[in-house]
Amino acid sequence: MSHVPGTPVALLHGVGLDAGMWEPVRDALKRNSVAIDLPGHGRRPALTAPTSLAELAADVLERLPEKSHLVGFSLGALIAQYIARFHPDRVETLTCVNSVCRRTEDESTAVLTRLAAAESDFPATVEASIDRWYTGTSVPQSVVETTRRTLAGNDVGSFVHAYRVFATGDAVIGPELGNIHVPTLAVTGELDPGSTPDMTLRLAEAIPGARSLVVPGARHMLPVQDADVLAGAINDFIQESEGERA
């Protein structure tokens, strides 16, 4: 990672993962970056009670740089949107990676079904996630195994509390998206079945002035599958936004 002066990039991972998922992206970014473990993940204490998008955002906010280019993946994207909406002074730019947005009734039903499955058979949920995220990709098996170990290592109760926020958080932040006024990029994978290209287009339409990018051939783990492409898109977006403010 090169140490370039200026506002750092802050990276928020997805449910069941940890800050380590960002290593390939951090290596390819042209600026300082910090990857933060979400509450209940990585080195943070397990979640022992139901929580909310607002509570997760408040916890993350305490550990963010004073100001950052905020990048969130999946659940991290919902948290990043919340912070950009209610604490815009802390956010230079917002990048939402593989984010859900304003789920339809069918999309909500699908994710609530996965939530129920996680509560009843967590090992099967781990395998279903790995299959949904990586099948058909050229991601090395060693990397897939690292993701599997991270997922399987979760405290099940904590995972369920976090996943419930992921399953319902878009309904919380959805009505507020029009009030986000920081430069925003929404990006997802062409083949992501859960955080679909349609959702990324919805997000870009909902946030004033936002732009969208769909990466051909990518599935949900875009930051792992196509780290160089994602890092390049983030670098270009930040540079452009800085140029517009100059």
Does residue 5 carry a pLDDT above 70? no
pLDDT for res 194: 94
CATH superfamily of 9-245: Alpha/Beta hydrolase fold, catalytic domain (3.40.50.1820)
Amino acid letter, residue 32: N
Contact 164, 78 (CB under 8 A): no
Is 3's pLDDT higher than 50? no
Under the banding of pLDDT at 50, 70 and 90, the label for residue 175 is very high
Q: What digits encode the pLDDT tens for the residues 11-52? A: 999 999 999 999 999 999 989 999 999 999 999 999 999 999
Q: What is the mean pLDDT of residues 129-144?
A: 96
| pTM (two decimals) | 0.96
For tokens 């983030």, name the residue.
234
Digit-coded pLDDT (tens) for 204-214: 999 999 999 99
For the chain, the average pLDDT equals: 96
Of the CA atoms within 13 Å of residue 51, those in its CB half-sphere come to 24
pLDDT number for residue 243: 82
Contacts of 192 (CB under 8 A, 6+ apart): 98, 218, 219, 220, 222
**Stretch 95-117: mean pLDDT:** 97
Give the residue extent of every domain in the chain.
9-245
Q: Answer for the pair 188, 199: CB distance below 8 angstroms, yes or no.
A: yes
pLDDT at 242: 87
Task: Report phi then psi at 217, rounded to 5.
Answer: 75, -5
For the stretch 216-227, pLDDT in tens is: 999 999 999 999
Residue with tokens 């009505």, as numbered in its chain: 175
Q: What is the mean pLDDT of residues 155-184?
A: 98
Q: Identify the CA nearest to 188 among candidates 97, 100, 111, 85.
A: 97
